[in-house]
Amino acid sequence: MVDAIVEATARVLVRDGFDALAIADVAEVAGISVGSLYQYFPHKEALVVAVLEREADREAAWLAERFAAVDVSNLEEMLATLIRATLAFRADHRALYECLLALIPRVGRYYDLRVRGVATAEGLKLLLAPHFPAASDDDLDAMVYVIANATHALTHEGLLARPASMDDDTLTREATRLVVAWVRARATT
């Protein structure tokens, strides 16, 4: 039942937005009574947190699958694949992600989402390590930090909205150039 409620919340959130999100609408879409919904979620913020957590878990699993299948022998292609995978996941969930990203400050689960990102970062570190055998653990941590945050900002609408003229292929190419150039420069210092 919880999964049905969370899925219904996501659908209503995309349809109506957070301010208009009504418990009664979520219950109706989930096919349950309002009372049953309240047994699991005391208010709409709790519903949104459940959707945020589900989507964070889905994205982490999606990326872990891509990490497992990526060709690690070519640094540039490896990073491009990971950027493409992030963009593909977000594109498949664009409307929901736009709602959720705007709500993170309102529902206050940023720390929990960061904790989930640690597993993804560890996977990235394992992929980078063979390319930089002389790099210390601190150097690899710095690379992961910059790559993860730069990629997240570029694929999840950072400071500026993406220009309409920039499609996913262009963004992937430019983000890959940025990340690869930085990693190579960082590795030689």
Tell me the DSSP string of the chain. Answer: -HHHHHHHHHHHHHHH-TTT--HHHHHHHHTS-HHHHHHH-SSHHHHHHHHHHHHHHHHHHHHHHHHHHS-TT-HHHHHHHHHHHHHHHHHHTHHHHHHHHHHHHHHT-HHHHHHHHHHHHHHHHHHHGGG-TT--HHHHHHHHHHHHHHHHHHHTT-SSPPPTT--HHHHHHHHHHHHHHHHHHHHH-
Query: pLDDT of 8-65, one tens digit each?
Result: 999 999 999 999 999 999 999 999 999 999 999 999 989 998 998 898 888 888 888 8
Enumerate the CATH 1.10.357.10 domain ranges in the chain, comma separated: 52-188
pLDDT band at 189 (very low <50, low <70, confident <90, very high): low
Tell me which fold the domain 52-188 belongs to. Tetracycline Repressor; domain 2 (1.10.357)
Over residues 65-75, the pLDDT tens digits come to 887 888 888 88
Fold of 1-42: Arc Repressor Mutant, subunit A (1.10.10)
Where exactly does CATH 1.10.10.60 map onto the chain? 1-42
